[in-house]
Amino acid sequence: MTETSARPHRQHRPHRPSGPAHRVRALPPWSLVAAGTLAGGLLGGAYGVLQPPVYSATAYVVAVPTEQSDTASALGFAQAYGRVATQLAVLGDAQVWAGVPVETLRSGVRTATSPDAPMVAITGTSSRADTAADMANAVSRALTRHARDSQATTHVELQQFARAVEPAEPSSASPAVTGLVGASAGGLLGALALLVRPRGDREESGRTAAVPGPAVAVAVDARPAP
């Protein structure tokens, strides 16, 4: 007599890790970009709100050649005056009219020149609008005074072209702008983190667990051998 017996086949289920690390890996890939964008936007917006406003005002001076000079000489001296405008000799006189220390003028005043026009732009930057305008006007006044002292040698006269006016709005970025910049930077960092993460983490979501096939009954012949 043939008896067929089958041992019960126990299906082994793959061990699924649990914990914070597994839950993070189970998130969709785009969640890194979304989290980075959100965090960057919040940080950028907070920076725009907390930072003090900055005001900028610009005064212009122009180099004018005398009868013994020409336009090319005036253009060259305008470049030179743009470089010496932030020197101690000029700032020392400007601090009296600006009402701020020399170090404040040194850190808050910048100049710019043009290769095509004999003009010097002097910009003052401060947390107060009136101080920014006073700084720019004080440096332009001190610079024209120093240029007048050497006019007999340079044959170039430095004249004030436009005074700096008190700005109505700050020149610093608004919270909306800093928030957009932060969101862009955060999204970019999230995308980079998504690209550089280990290969195993990228492929883990695409893997499927192997499922064992159905159990096969094993026939056992109980008859004794002849």
In a domain, 35, yes or no: yes
Whether 193 and 157 map to the same domain: the answer is no
Instruction: Work out how many domains the chain is built from and give that number.
Output: 2
Whether 129 and 152 map to the same domain: the answer is yes
**154-179, pLDDT tens digit by residue?**
889 999 999 999 988 876 555 666 66
Whether 88 and 137 map to the same domain: the answer is yes
Closest CA to 124 of 116, 134, 114: 134
Most confident of 6-10, 20-24, 145-149: 145-149
Domain carrying residue 40: 29-51+182-197
Whether 61 and 152 map to the same domain: the answer is yes
Strand order in the sheet with 156-162: 109-113, 119-126, 55-65, 156-162
Whether 152 and 77 map to the same domain: the answer is yes
**Please, what is the average pLDDT of the chain?**
76
In a domain, 15, yes or no: no
Percentage of the chain lying above the pLDDT 90 cut: 33
Cα 121 from Cα 59, distance rounded (Å): 6
Whether 72 and 158 map to the same domain: the answer is yes
Q: What is the pLDDT of residue 184?
A: 78
In a domain, 154, yes or no: yes
In a domain, 4, yes or no: no
